[in-house]
Amino acid sequence: MDHLNPKLLDKVAVVTGGGRGLGWSISKALAQAGAKIAIVYPPFEPYPEQKMEELHSLGCQAKAYEADVTDSQTIKRRIQEIVEDFGGIDILVNNAGKLNETLLIDMEEHEWNEILDTDLKSVFIVSKAVLPYMMKAKNGAIINIASQLGYKGGVGITHYSAAKAGVIAFTKSLAQEVIPHGIRVNAVAPGPIVTDMTAPFIKDKDWLAQKESSVAIGRLGTPDEIAPTVVFLASADASLYVGQTLLPNGGGVMI
């Protein structure tokens, strides 16, 4: 494989939700950096055959695994399968997530639980399943996908904002626990981007105009603009980054 950036050569990367949207851009970017890719996709989506073929055409060793990221027992089995197939896990990207907009006064409890389970609980479940292998190897990088909304909040997204704020706090705490074992934990908190998840909202011209006006660059980002930040955090170039949240958000939040 003619790697564009071989800084992750032969590293094994697990990407949850890695077959579509931002996750797919991350999977491709990691592959281009030399990594072997294990995509975890949800049961309600078809096997990402075309995406696998694209990775294989690049000369990348890649395989997809169906699993509900909120099911701890299934995830534990899938992570074990990945280790058996690839020989270990060097990088974990907790990318799986859901988004919907509902005012709290209208929100049903199951809606709250669904977002918190997918966007926050899954980070706990998958990280816990991967950690024993990373700790044994005394090496690893975990990158959690948060959101700038975990900082600034927003109307109709109390559940999503709470989940993403939780991801940021989880990142800081886990980073302190596992850095003695040679494992770095960081997060990426993008601004509004054009993905499958936001596509239904983008059709609303008022929603789109509001989002575009909320960022300094005046437009939504793309998944391919976020993925390089993940590659950086997964690499040795980020050796001093521990418990940090990077914000490629076009100026939506400035810290």
CATH 3.40.109.10 for domain 7-246, yes or no, is: no
Question: What's the CA gap between 88 and 85, in Å, rounded?
Answer: 8
Rg (C-alpha) for the chain, rounded Å, is 17
Question: What's the CA gap between 33 and 2, in Å, rounded?
Answer: 10
Structure token digits, residue 32: 């281009």
Secondary structure element (H or E) that encloses residue 60, with its range:
none
Domain borders along the chain are 7-246
How high is the pLDDT of residue 195?
A: 77
Question: What's the CA gap between 16 and 210, in Å, rounded?
Answer: 30
Give residue 1's pLDDT band: very low, low, confident or very high (50, 70, 90).
very low
Instruction: Tell me the CA distances in angstroms from 147 to 106, 107, 117, one per residue in order.
Output: 23, 21, 16
41, 65, 133, 160: which one is catalytic?
160
**Burial class for 153, CB neighbours closer than 10 Å (0-12, 13-18, 19+):** middle
Give residue 102's pLDDT band: very low, low, confident or very high (50, 70, 90).
very high
How high is the pLDDT of residue 5?
A: 57
Question: Residue 215 contacts by C-beta under 8 Å, 6 or more apart in sequence?
Answer: 191, 192, 249, 250, 251, 252
Express each pLDDT in 44-70 by its tens digit.
999 999 999 999 998 999 999 999 999
Q: First vs last Cα of the chain: how many Å apart?
A: 39
65 classed as catalytic: no
**Mean per-residue pLDDT over the chain, rounded:** 93
